[in-house]
């Protein structure tokens, strides 16, 4: 029987260069192959995990997003600080519980993602 797995998550972007720089630095990913004028596939530097593909196609950011990334870390405060320095912004959500194990951020184009504290 055949099996399937997530090979790539595709994110629509307006500014391909800026988003590629942000996500490559955020995730420690590198380009998988030569990029085209409107598409780049980033892969984990260490080879483990799905690709993140960036497709330059204008689309409206949906709030709340239909899908988002959860990034796991054992240094949530340090990673949030690093991601903010790369150009992310913090998203405040009135329904976020005070004891939440996640912080909501958005990339430079407003695509939301969560930074999850794995030490809890």
3's CB contacts (< 8 A; 6+ apart) are: none
* Residue 32 sits in the same domain as residue 86: no
pLDDT of residue 33: 80
Structural domain including 71 reads 60-120
**Residue 65's domain is classified under what CATH number?**
3.10.180.10
> How many domains is the chain built from?
2
* Residue 24 sits in the same domain as residue 64: no
Longest dimension (CA), the chain: 46
Q: Which of 68, 84, 86 is nearest to 76 (CA)?
A: 84
pLDDT of residue 54: 96
Last residue of one domain, picked from the residues 59, 84, 107:
59
* Residue 46 sits in the same domain as residue 80: no
* Residue 30 sits in the same domain as residue 66: no
pLDDT digits (tens, 9 = 90+) for 58-100: 988 888 888 999 999 999 999 999 999 999 999 999 999 999 9
Mean of pLDDT over the chain: 94
Average pLDDT estimate for 95-119: 96
**Residue 5's domain is classified under what CATH number?**
3.30.720.120
* Residue 93 sits in the same domain as residue 114: yes
**What does pTM read for this prediction?**
0.92
* Residue 32 sits in the same domain as residue 83: no
* Residue 26 sits in the same domain as residue 71: no
* Residue 66 sits in the same domain as residue 55: no
* Residue 66 sits in the same domain as residue 49: no
pLDDT of residue 89: 98
């Amino acid at each position: 029987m055949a099996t399937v797995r997530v090979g790539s998550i595709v994110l629509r972007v307006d500014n391909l260069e800026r988003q590629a720089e942000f996500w490559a630095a955020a995730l420690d990913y590198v380009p998988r192959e030569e990029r085209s004028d409107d598409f780049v596939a980033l892969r984990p530097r260490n080879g483990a995990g799905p690709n993140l593909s960036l497709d330059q196609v204008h689309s409206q950011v949906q709030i709340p997003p239909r899908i988002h990334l959860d990034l796991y870390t054992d240094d949530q405060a340090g990673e949030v600080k690093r991601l903010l320095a790369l150009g992310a912004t913090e998203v405040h959500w009135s329904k976020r519980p005070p004891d939440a194990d996640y912080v909501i951020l958005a990339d430079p184009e407003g695509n939301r993602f969560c930074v999850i504290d794995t030490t809890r």
